[in-house]
């Protein structure tokens, strides 16, 4: 087949064939003897019809025969053929679908349905239908280019739709779409990895771990660092701590052992703090800026002891729908974060470095971290008389935040998720060092 012909085949629209070219459904499904004579007359009338009036008569006769032979595929196919020649040929598709529902391997129905799906660019359905058609009928080699193109475009469509669903939080839909893509390309390690990521977000840890294992098997190059990290997370959530620890130690044996072991320990600590909400932590940690509700959760997860301290409850009118309402109540009641005007908290408002410094300074004092007695660190954008100066000096002295190359702190700049996490870990280390020297 030359390239021009192939292109024409791929681009052609599917239109009603000449009546003489219609395949007699009796070739596919034997006609009972008691129906044979009436069926043969009906078929000849269909082929000889030359007007809508003639077609109307054929339709009427078909309906009468269907009353006595309910859901008989050849009669249903004649009705579908008739729909091709009505004012709206698209009506034929549900008619052929009815045939296929009654006879799932009917090659005539499969042929027309696959061609119609392809012609309207419904490549997902076209791919499925072509696959079913080729499984029962190998007499259409001219359809192979369409079948291959439909397969490739259906995978592309499924992946794009799955990614969009995942990004919008429609995880069940994303899972279903990724699974459909895998059915079409079961040997793709990437597709199994994508499905594993969605399953982890859905807390389906056993299924996620199985997909990660399949990804490793198919990649042929061993598990990447990211994949191993995900496997450790899944094993930990499944309570298979020994296996998680063994995998972490195995990672430590490849490359720089001290660095890898430290990274593995951090992952286990993160899982211990966040449990089934580990996905939320990953979002916070990778964010370019964090919100007030995210900061509240970070502080309580890293310093759970503050939830046991005496506190004075505050009324806030806008936190009832926040996923962090409990943590917000805790940090506000302890004075770590301040409520805003009109008894609001504004959970989604971005945290500035100045506000973060104040929160960490207050937290440091509450948990008993000693004040840093080192000399002040010069800042180019913050005078010693400024209201935030002492708090900024505390976090700088503890190494929780740092200045930029121009020695600027940037009190009005947003704090990143990574900066917030590092600051929390640093304060834990500082508190532990104080406790060890007592």
Which of 160, 223, 168 minimizes the C-alpha distance to 201? 168
Higher pLDDT, 165 or 247: 165
Mean pLDDT of 383-392: 91
CA separation (Å) from 396 to 71, 291, 408, 421?
A: 80, 22, 12, 15
Residue 318, classified by CB atoms within 10 Å of its CB into exposed (0-12), middle (13-18) or buried (19+), is middle
pTM of the model: 0.53
Higher pLDDT, 40 or 275: 40
Output the pLDDT for position 3.
38
256: left (phi over 0), alpha (psi -120 to 50) or beta: beta
Mean pLDDT of 3-17: 48
The confidence band for 39, taking pLDDT boundaries of 50, 70 and 90, is very high
Output the pLDDT for position 67.
93
Name the token pair of 322: 């926040």
Count helices and strands (H / E) in the chain. 20, 0
Which of 427, 162, 169 minimizes the C-alpha distance to 283? 169
CA distance 36 to 375: 104
Residue 53, classified by CB atoms within 10 Å of its CB into exposed (0-12), middle (13-18) or buried (19+), is exposed
Q: What is the pLDDT of residues 215-272, one digit of tens each?
A: 988 887 666 777 887 888 788 777 787 787 777 666 554 444 554 555 555 666 666 6
Q: What is the pLDDT of residues 273-328, one digit of tens each?
A: 776 677 778 778 888 899 999 999 999 999 988 988 888 888 899 999 888 999 99
Average pLDDT, the chain: 85
Structural domain spans, the chain: 3-120, 187-280, 291-436
Round the CA-based radius of gyration of the chain to a whole number and report it. Answer: 34
Output the pLDDT for position 255.
47
How many Cβ atoms are within 10 Å of 104's Cβ, its own excluded? 11
Do residues 296 and 331 lie in contact, with contact meaning Cβ atoms separated by under 8 Å?
yes
């Amino acid at each position: 087949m030359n390239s021009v012909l192939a292109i024409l085949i791929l681009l052609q629209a599917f239109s009603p064939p000449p009546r003489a070219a219609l395949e007699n459904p009796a070739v596919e499904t034997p006609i009972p003897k008691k129906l044979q004579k009436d069926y043969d007359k009906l078929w000849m009338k269909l082929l000889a019809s030359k007007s809508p009036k003639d077609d109307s008569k054929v339709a009427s006769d078909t309906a009468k025969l269907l009353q006595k032979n309910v859901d008989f595929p050849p009669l249903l196919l004649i009705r579908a053929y008739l729909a091709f020649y009505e004012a709206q040929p698209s009506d034929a598709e549900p008619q052929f679908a009815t045939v296929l529902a009654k006879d799932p391997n009917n090659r005539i129905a499969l042929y027309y349905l696959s061609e119609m799906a392809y012609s309207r660019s419904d490549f997902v359905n076209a791919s499925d239908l072509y696959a079913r058609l080729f499984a029962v009928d190998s007499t259409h080699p001219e359809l192979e280019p369409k079948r291959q193109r439909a397969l490739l475009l259906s995978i592309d469509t499924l992946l794009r739709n799955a990614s969009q669903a995942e990004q919008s939080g429609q995880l069940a839909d994303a899972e279903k779409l990724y699974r459909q893509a895998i059915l079409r390309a079961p040997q793709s390690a990437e597709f199994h990895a994508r499905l594993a990521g969605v399953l982890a977000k859905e807390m389906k840890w056993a299924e996620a771990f199985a997909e990660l294992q399949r990804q490793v098997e198919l990649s042929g190059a061993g598990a990447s660092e990211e994949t191993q990290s995900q496997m450790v997370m899944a094993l930990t959530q499944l309570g298979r701590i020994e296996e998680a620890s063994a995998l972490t130690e195995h990672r430590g044996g490849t490359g720089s052992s001290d660095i890898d072991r430290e990274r593995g320990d951090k992952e286990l600590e993160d899982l211990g703090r966040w449990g089934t909400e580990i996905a939320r932590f990953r979002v916070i940690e990778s964010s370019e800026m964090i919100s007030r509700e995210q900061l509240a959760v970070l502080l309580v997860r890293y310093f759970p002891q503050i939830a046991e301290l005496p506190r004075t409850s505050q009324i806030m009118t806008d936190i009832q729908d926040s996923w962090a309402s409990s943590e917000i109540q805790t940090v506000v009641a302890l004075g770590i974060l301040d409520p805003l005007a009109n008894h609001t908290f504004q959970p989604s408002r971005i945290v500035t470095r100045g506000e973060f410094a104040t929160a960490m300074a207050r937290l440091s004092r509450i948990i008993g971290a000693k004040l840093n007695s080192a000399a002040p660190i010069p800042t180019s954008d913050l005078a010693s008389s400024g209201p935030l100066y002492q708090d900024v000096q505390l976090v700088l002295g503890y190494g929780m935040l740092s200045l930029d190359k121009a020695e600027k702190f940037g009190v009005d700049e947003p704090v990143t998720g990574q900066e917030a996490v590092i600051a929390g870990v640093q304060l834990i280390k500082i508190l532990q060092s104080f406790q060890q020297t007592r």
